[in-house]
Amino acid sequence: MTIFDIQRFSLHDGPGIRTTVFLKGCPLRCLWCQNPEGLEFGIDNVQNSKNVKKYRCIAPEILAEEVQADSVFFEVSGGGVTFSGGEALAQIDDVCTAADILRTKKIHTAVETSLCAPRESIQKAVDSIDLILADIKIFDTEKHKAAIGADNELIRKNFKYAAEKLRGTGRLIARTPLIPGYTANEKNITEIGAFIGSIDSSIQWELLNFNPLASAKYNELHNDGFKLFEGLKQFSDMQMNEFKKIAASCGVSVI
């Protein structure tokens, strides 16, 4: 499997203290991508630097052994290992191999995904991963295409499929990153909330605050993409509470 970073002591990639493995390659091109060094599937020439990590190829068995070094933190916090990206499901077979090994060690696993993947990959994730953190970014199809570079029909269908398979288990959490001018508005939040509620109102829904810190990565990659958000800051606690009120009004469990 090809990865570009392993981040330890993560607190926002699932429950407890996590070790997050970032896999290379993504089918989408979100304008606000936080990990531009992980977009391309091919082997590139990005070098190690302060903000951008170089890829490395590693066998899933070796990766599983490496992340087990953090097991003491998982035990005391209820944490585990999260596979992220890029798009983790693009390397689903290797992810499942590593996850199956970690399961034998009683280590919790999670995957962060856009759900832009073949149905077979979703099924494998449902079978092997303890928790699926699924992004639903923009509900309107045309706006989704413009900001993310792809139709969202497959994402919606895969979300419904995963929700039906995992109904009542608590193993699916929907997430929406709040991006100024794109996802962070009443109409989008209300539409996503109605969509989730129509499938299963017990599904937890997490609203993620805007993160402006990716600018340094874009600068090192000589990419002007993130300049779109220059000067923008994270939403305040008051603003986040307002967004959560809108989401909760849809009858969905907001976290």
pLDDT, tens only, 159-185:
999 999 999 999 999 999 999 999 999
Question: Which single residue is written with the structure tokens 């962070």?
Answer: 184
pLDDT in tens, 115-165: 999 999 999 999 999 999 999 999 999 999 999 999 999 999 999 999 999
Q: What is the pLDDT of residue 217?
A: 74
Can you tell me the mean pLDDT for 29-55?
73
- What 137-145 contacts at long range (C-beta under 8 Å, 24+ apart), as own/partner pairs, is 137/30, 137/176, 137/177, 137/179, 137/182, 137/183, 138/182, 138/183, 138/188, 139/188, 139/191, 139/192, 139/195, 140/188, 140/191, 143/182, 143/188
pLDDT of residue 232: 85
DSSP letter (8 states) at residue 236: P
Task: Categorize the per-residue pLDDT at 190 as very low, low, confident or very high, splitting at 50, 70 and 90.
Answer: very high
User: Per-residue pLDDT averaged across 194-219, rounded?
Assistant: 89
CA gap 112, 81 in Å, rounded: 11
* CA pair distance 175, 133, nearest whole angstrom: 7
pLDDT value at 46 more than 60: no
CATH superfamily of 2-254: Aldolase class I (3.20.20.70)
Least confident of 32-41, 72-81, 197-206: 32-41
The answer, as to whether pTM is greater than 0.85, is yes
pLDDT score for 212: 83
Instruction: Give counts: helices (H), strands (E), the chain.
Output: 9, 9
Query: What are the sequence ranges of the domains in the chain?
Result: 2-254
- Backbone torsions φ then ψ of 154, nearest 5 degrees: -65, -40
Confidence of residue 54 (pLDDT cuts 50, 70, 90): low
Q: Quick one: pLDDT at residue 177?
A: 97
Paired tokens of 241 = 């509470």
pLDDT above 70: residue 45? no
Percentage of the chain modeled with pLDDT above 90: 82
Query: Helix %, strand %, coil % for the chain, to 5?
Result: 45, 20, 40
